[in-house]
Amino acid sequence: MKEIAEFYLPYFMGMLDTLALFKGSLAAADVKDCLYCFIIAICRDAYDQRDKELKEKSP
């Protein structure tokens, strides 16, 4: 999980910077939606990785 978080961190920070640029405009809502989708993708990736590790450990 830690490796996944470290991999996505630069992308996440970039999304936050973009959100700050558009703060107060109509486009901010679109950027915010993208940010939420991005977070969901990270969580799915993390769960997939965890499931893969659990399957490898089970006999």
Q: How many domains does the chain have?
A: 1
In whole angstroms, what is the distance from residue 54 CA to residue 56 CA? 5
Q: What is the pLDDT of residue 22?
A: 64
In whole angstroms, what is the distance from residue 38 CA to residue 32 CA? 10
Q: What is the pLDDT of residue 1?
A: 57
In whole angstroms, what is the distance from residue 38 CA to residue 31 CA? 10
Range of the domain at 34: 2-57
Residues, the chain:
59
- Per run of 10 residues, the mean pLDDT along the chain (length 59 residues) is 71 72 62 74 81 85
Q: How many CA atoms lie within 13 A of 53 on its CB side?
A: 7
Of 57, 53, 17, the closest CA to residue 35 belongs to: 17
Whether the pTM exceeds 0.75: the reply is no
Q: What is the pLDDT of residue 25?
A: 61
